[in-house]
Homo-oligomer: A and B are copies of this chain.
Amino acid sequence: MKALLAGVAEGRIDVAEAVRALRDLPYENLGYARLDHHRALRTGFPEVIFCQGKTPSQVAQIFARLAAKSPVVLATRAGEQVFACVKRAVAGAKYHPAARCITLQKEPAETPAGPPVAVLSAGTADQPVAEESRIALSLMGHPVRALYDVGVSGIHRLFDHLETINECAVVIVVAGMEGALPSVVAGLTPRPVIAVPTSVGYGSSFNGLAALLAMLNSCAPGIGVVNIDNGYGAAALADAIVRTGRERE
Contacts and interface: CB of A to CB of B under 8 A. Distances in A.
Nearest to A126: B53
Contact of A34 (B14, B31, B150): B150
B224 A204 contact: no
Contact of A155 (B5, B44, B188, B243): B188
Describe A's contact surface by its main secondary structure: mixed
A194 interface: yes
Nearest to A98: B32
A32 B124 contact: yes
Given A157-B27, A245-B245, A124 B58 contact: yes
A149 B53 contact: no
Interface of A: 2, 5-6, 8-9, 11, 14-15, 18-19, 22-23, 25, 27, 29, 31-34, 36, 38-39, 42-45, 48, 50, 52-54, 58, 62, 77, 115, 122-125, 127, 148-157, 160, 169-170, 177-180, 183-184, 186-194, 197, 199-230, 232-233, 236-237, 239-241, 243-246, 248-249
26 contacts: A2-B15, A5-B18, A8-B9, A25-B156, A39-B154, A77-B202, A122-B219, A153-B218, A178-B179, A178-B183, A178-B217, A179-B214, A179-B217, A202-B228, A202-B230, A203-B212, A203-B228, A204-B209, A210-B214, A210-B216, A211-B214, A221-B236, A221-B240, A223-B224, A223-B226, A245-B245
Given A8-B8, A177-B217, A237 B223 contact: yes
A22 B183 CA distance: 22
A240 B237 CA distance: 14
A219 B11 CA distance: 40
Contacts of A34: 148-150, 154, 157
A23 to B, nearest CB: 5
B221 A216 contact: no
Nearest to A53: B125
A65 B198 CA distance: 26
B212 A216 contact: yes
- Most central of A8, A150, A217, A240 by chain B CB within 10 Å: A217
